Amino acid sequence: MSDFTVVLAQIKPKLGCVSDNLALIEERIRLAVAGKADLVVFPELALTGYFLKDLVPEVARRLDSPEILRLVELSRQISIAVGFVEVTDDYRFFNSALYLEDGAIRHLHRKVYLPTYGLFDEQRYLARGERFRAFDTKLGRMGLLVCEDMWHLSASYILALDGATTLICLSSSPGRGTEGDSLGSADAWQQLTSTTALFLNCRVLYCNRVGYEDGINFWGGSEYVAPSGASLSRGKLLEEDSVTATVDEGVLRRERIFSPMLRDENLFVTMQELRRIERERGL
């Protein structure tokens, strides 16, 4: 694998306005292509906005809808990771992320962990995804996560064991906590992305949106975290931005030689203990 250039498009979608958001996404794709990037990543629900509530069925799109086909077409010029609401033939609605490459859907991930606590209410409106799968791309083997997915250790763990060396997380993270030196939710996320990269010797590409919906801010801070856990490029807090980073293959190779924890991970022990726990819980 060789180095590649990624653009994290830290945009501000309009709530429920699919065509406006598609235009915004297309513009960022155009800029990324002009900048000769290999991959452009958009936030969770970039096509729709976040606090959709009863708008979910209205803004949901099938995989063969004109908007998705348009993005698939654009992926002939650049690889694209983007979030939207997916509707299936049996009328389930998913908080989904697509990885598009060379005019085709390379991977579809449906958010597994739908937060329904505090200010979140996703499970009321959306169906749960049921798998974490790594997938091959021309930029290496990758894994997709949608926001809350990343807060479950098992999600990143599964993707890393499945061979992903790049974890892409699409996010719509609301900002809260102004007591400390920095924003509480930004602090928590930065610890998470760094620790995940460090534990799994993976790179993390984190793309978070900005803007406000009903007084709730989304804090941005999109970042590229190296397998060492070091954040090498980070977007602005609370403002629209575009983060361009060169993802260096040599850094990954060296990290995996120096700290081969993932190589030494004992899948047999893990599975044996998980099966025991499953048995004991009577699942």
Residues that bind other proteins (CB under 8 A): 14-17, 51-55, 175, 178-183, 211-215, 217, 237-238
Give the C-alpha separation, 13 to 25, whole Å: 9
Of 51 and 151, nearer to other proteins (C-beta) is: 51
**Smallest gap, in angstroms, from Cβ of residue 118 to other proteins?**
11
Q: Which is nearer to other proteins, 240 or 248 (CB)?
A: 240
In angstroms, what CA-CA distances link 206 with 27, 66, 158, 170?
Answer: 20, 27, 18, 6
CB nearer to other proteins: pick between 12 and 203 = 12
From the list 230, 220, 18, 252, the residue with the least C-alpha distance to 139 is: 252
Instruction: Between 184 and 229, name the residue whose CB sits nearer to other proteins.
Output: 184
- Considering the complex, state which of residue 12 and residue 106 has its C-beta at the smaller distance from other proteins: 12
- Distance, CA of 244 to CA of 4 (rounded, Å): 11
Report DSSP state, residue 173: P
The CB-of-51 to other proteins minimum distance in angstroms stands at 4
Q: How many residues does the chain have?
A: 283
241-247 and 231-234 beta bridge pairing: unpaired
Between 217 and 233, whose beta carbon lies closer to other proteins?
217
Q: How far is the CB of 16 from other proteins (least distance, A)?
A: 5
| Residue 151 DSSP label | G
Listed as own residue / partner, the contacts of 111-114 with beta carbons closer than 8 Å and 24 or more positions apart are 111/44, 111/146, 111/147, 111/148, 111/149, 112/149, 112/152, 112/155, 113/148, 113/149, 113/151, 113/152, 113/155, 114/148
Identify the three-state secondary structure at position 5. Answer: strand
Nearer CB in complex with other proteins: 11/139:
11
**Closest distance to other proteins from the beta carbon of 190 (Å):** 15
3-state percent breakdown (helix, strand, coil) of the chain, nearest 5: 35, 30, 35
Q: What is the bridge-based pairing of β-strands 216-219 and 140-146?
A: unpaired
Minimum distance between the CB of residue 171 and other proteins, rounded to whole angstroms?
18
Residue 59 or 142 with smaller CB distance to other proteins = 59
Q: Indicate the SS3 state at residue 34.
A: helix
**What does the CA dihedral 167, 171, 177, 180 come to, rounded to 10 degrees?**
40
